Amino acid sequence: SCSLWVTMLRLFRVLARLRGCRHWTKITELSARLSSTKAAPRFRRMDYQDAVCTLNTLQTNASALEQVKRERGHPQLQLQAMRGFLQRAGLKVDELDRLNIIHVTGTKGKGSTCAFTEQILRNYGFRTGFYSSPHLVQVRERIRINGQPIGKELFTKYFWQVYCRLEETKDAHGGSMPAYFRFLTILAFHIFLQEKVDLAVFEVGIGGAYDCTNIIRRPWVCGISSLGIDHTSILGDTIEKIAWQKGGIFKPGVPAFTVKQSDGPKMVLQERAEEIGCSLSVCPDLEEYQSEDSLRLGLAGHHQRSNASLALQLSHTWLQRHFLTDPASSSPVEFSGVSPAPAFQPSPAMIKGLAETEWPGRNQTLKHGPVTYFLDGAHTTRSMQACVHWFNEIAPQHERNAGGPVVRVLLFNATGERDCGAMLKLLVPCLFDFAVFCPNITEAIATCNADQQNFNVSVENMLTRCLDNQQSWRVLNGQEEKPEAELLIGGGLPLVAERHRDTLVFPCILSALQWISQGRDSVLSDPNKCVIPVKPSINAKAALLREAVNIHVLITGSLHLVGGALKHLDPALNS
């Protein structure tokens, strides 16, 4: 267990970030009691939010940031550092072999592929682990047992086990602690080993070759979903460079599968498979599988069909190895050129698994009375193309049954190095009546929802990005710019900044949703939710929303935005 002083030092670091948080009083009292009692029992009784608040300090850990800067020039150091952290946490790399891992990367669709794969194998009765990112509402969504986010009590217990081991050893390692994603990856390994899962599905974070999940030495099968341009500052500025990174998860003798790719990245993946020494197969179209009826998918969108095909190949290959008498003695499959994967006949468990798969925030529809929300975390131009295709198919179906005028609203935000202009350009033909922009802040009034705190980006930067997106939208729609933005709340953070009648910028997700719904969504009208006041002049602009028979809202551009919206729209996700 952690020593008293280590515990108190870490607590005070957390407290420095949590002034105004609802846990401030409780944690202050706890830290005071620690000065006269043994640390370990008190430390273990800290609750889930305390664990998440402590986890959040790893987002901006100074030594971790310095470490990331050093490693960018020497990416192989990332895996070396990860092995060191794993060892300090009390784990060995060869222990991970016992998890019977399926390892999946890609630019878009890798999370959906993992979700299909996990559901299929769970339908066979296996106890599954599933590690993915990012989370939508609560961080424990990233680590799932049998399809469900790990419970708060188990998360808290295992969190402190790993955190204390790392904290106790940091002085001997230059004060270093793993950054946020690295820590969660180590935690997932620890949880899956402790919970004795039969298999674990691991989604790569970014890239592949130097992603911290790539300390996995012996997965049972690897998969690569559709490739595109993303994270160029880390992975490279061409799709071929990105393909090289993704192919880095291949392992000698371990079968690998990919969906159909364009010639450039396909050639790179072929070269990586030959270099590393593994087989590489291309998945068939979903229509080619030998099924009496067309395979039904639980996830909407035509692009999910290639993800489902990849999942069928991954699960089928895993099952073939599992049902061998001695899986460890199975012959490695070496490279012999890229070959088409066979279109076999899916079992009833596979068919059922594909149909039952759920993956919130991706092509998801929520109907709340007269307000219908279409949520998709598309954040690249390719995924936005798929999102627009899906929205243009499904929204008219709802509109035909409306029986009166329908107003379309876009709620958009994008983060990081995303090409917002290119994504917004794809959205213009959807003919939105309003375009609303807001940062990925769930609500302007702090309630210490630690799961969705992000210390890596300032509020000022987030709002500036929203204003830039608003201006891009106006230019794309041929609207002239006003000389100055009108700030509708004086002093401090503006509640709404607007430059044109049909574009608005709000300071948080809740205020945007409340304005869009105009009191017509009973979930958002919950008396427990704070209603953020808006100037009468802005409410007057919402007459169209109040008079419409239905309001259709597309929420897209960022999974974090979608997650923040779901926090308010689906209360079950907060439990």
Annotated binding site: 133, 203, 231, 362, 376
Residue among 481, 472, 361, 480 nearest 418 (CA): 472
Give the contacts of 336 (CB within 8 A, at least 6 positions apart): 279
User: What is the rounded CA–CA span in Å between residue 235 and residue 22?
Assistant: 40
User: What is the rounded CA–CA span in Å between residue 533 and residue 98?
Assistant: 55
Phi, psi (degrees; rounded to nearest 5) at 513: -65, -40
503 forms beta bridges with: 435, 500
Q: Which two tokens stand for residue 247?
A: 């192919």
Beta strands per DSSP E along 378-463: 406-412, 434-437
Residue among 257, 252, 242, 246 nearest 276 (CA): 252
Residue among 386, 471, 479, 374 nearest 426 (CA): 386
Residue among 404, 368, 402 nearest 555 (CA): 368
Long-range CB pairs of 23-29 (<8 Å, 24+ gap) are: 23/49, 23/50, 23/53, 23/448, 27/53
Residue 167: helix, strand or coil by DSSP?
Answer: helix
Helix extents (H) in 145-248: 152-169, 180-194, 232-235, 239-246
Count how many residues are written for the chain. 575
User: What is the pairing mode between strands 221-224 and 101-105?
Assistant: parallel
What is the 3 state secondary structure string of 225-251? Answer: CECCCCCHHHHCCCHHHHHHHHHHHCC
- Which parts are annotated binding residues for ATP? 362, 376
Residue among 213, 276, 229, 237 nearest 106 (CA): 229
User: What is the rounded CA–CA span in Å between residue 490 and residue 205?
Assistant: 41
Residue among 485, 509, 508, 510 nearest 497 (CA): 485
| DSSP 8-class letter at 257 | E
- Which parts are annotated binding residues for Mg(2+)? 133, 203, 231
User: What is the rounded CA–CA span in Å between residue 18 and residue 34?
Assistant: 19
User: What is the rounded CA–CA span in Å between residue 247 and residue 272?
Assistant: 6
User: What is the rounded CA–CA span in Å between residue 376 and residue 414?
Assistant: 12
435 forms beta bridges with: 410, 503
Identify whether 134 is preceded by a cis peptide bond (ω within 30 of 0).
Answer: yes
Please compute, for residue 169, the number of CA atoms within 13 A of its CA located in the half-sphere on the CB side: 15
- Compute how many other C-beta atoms are within 10 angstroms of the C-beta atom of residue 483: 5
- Compute how many other C-beta atoms are within 10 angstroms of the C-beta atom of residue 433: 16
Please, what is the angle between helix 76-88 and helix 180-194, to 10°? 50
